Amino acid sequence: MYGAERADSRALEQLESILRQVAEELATWRARALKAEGDGKRGGSSRGEGEGDRQLRGRVEAARTRVQALVSRLAFLEEQARETNGPNDSSGSPHR
């Protein structure tokens, strides 16, 4: 059972790391959007930012894909832990 707990822990650490990266990406994206909005109100130009936006969207989409894969992996590990614990485990959640 220790191996399954360790695998859960690794998957959770990976998920937390990716979520931190996504949060940083979103904060950057939000800051850029607020800046562009301010520039637009002042009549400024936001030329040249189109490529940066596309790159940022690509990075966010890649992070989203990694998060989805880790969530699927974590769900699999949780199911595997439930099967390993058998019907005697009344808690309904894997041990950590």
Residue 88 in any domain: the answer is: no
So what's the pLDDT on residue 29? Answer: 87
Q: Please tell me the distance from the alpha carbon of residue 96 to that of residue 89, in angstroms, as a whole number.
A: 14
Selection from 53, 45, 62 nearest residue 28 by Cα? 53
Residue 93 in any domain: the answer is: no
Residue 96 in any domain: the answer is: no
pTM, 2 dp: 0.44
Domain membership of residue 19 as a residue range: 2-42+50-83
Residue 90 in any domain: the answer is: no
Residue 57 in any domain: the answer is: yes
Q: Judge whether residue 68 has pLDDT over 50.
A: yes
> Into how many domains does the chain fold?
1
Average pLDDT over residues 49-64: 82
Residue 27 in any domain: the answer is: yes
Residue 68 in any domain: the answer is: yes
Q: Judge whether residue 96 has pLDDT over 50.
A: no
